[in-house]
């Protein structure tokens, strides 16, 4: 993946915004607010990696990954939670989604 100058600027901007949001949430909600924010970021990470295989702008990938992370990740963890403990299901879903997204990006594409 080759980033152009605009994409790099957007990623730096998003990182700065994430740090500001993290500080704000820690200040107002304490460690719990920071944990929720980190959880949302971690849940959307596999979807961001998956969306890298499509021709989308960085902003589109960012927003779609957050939406998918907020909706699909908890749904998968909840459904798997019927079979194993909930904490274990969160870890299993994260590992599986990350593995699938990395495998999807490594797979050769037809042009």
pLDDT tens, residue by residue, 71-107 = 999 999 999 999 999 999 999 999 999 999 988 888 7
User: Model confidence at 65, in pLDDT bands (50, 70, 90)?
Assistant: very high
| Residues of the chain above pLDDT 70, percent | 91
Instruction: Write the CA distances from 23 to 28, 31, 35, 61, integer angstroms.
Output: 9, 10, 12, 24
Would you give the DSSP letter of residue 110?
-
Q: How many Å from the N-terminal Cα to the C-terminal Cα in the chain?
A: 16
What's the confidence (pLDDT) of residue 110? Answer: 66
What's the confidence (pLDDT) of residue 3? Answer: 62
Q: Is the pTM of this model over 0.85?
A: no
What's the confidence (pLDDT) of residue 58? Answer: 78
CA-based radius of gyration for the chain: 16
Instruction: Write the CA distances from 20 to 32, 37, 49, 56, 64, integer angstroms.
Output: 16, 11, 23, 26, 21
Mean pLDDT of the chain: 88
Instruction: Write the CA distances from 28 to 18, 21, 38, integer angstroms.
Output: 15, 11, 15
Token pair belonging to 13? 């901007």
Judged against a pLDDT cut of 80, whether residue 66 lies above it is answered with yes
């Amino acid at each position: 993946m080759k980033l152009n100058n605009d994409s790099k600027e957007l990623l730096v901007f998003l990182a700065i915004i994430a740090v500001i949001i993290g500080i704000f949430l820690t200040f107002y909600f304490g460690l719990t607010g920071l944990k929720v924010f980190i959880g949302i970021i971690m849940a959307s990470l596999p979807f961001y990696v998956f969306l890298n295989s499509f021709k989308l702008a960085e902003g589109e990938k960012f927003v779609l990954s957050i939406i998918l992370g907020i909706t699909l990740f908890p749904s998968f963890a909840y459904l798997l939670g019927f079979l194993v403990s909930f904490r274990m299901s969160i870890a299993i879903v994260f590992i599986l989604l990350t593995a699938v997204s990395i495998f999807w990006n490594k797979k050769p594409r037809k042009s």
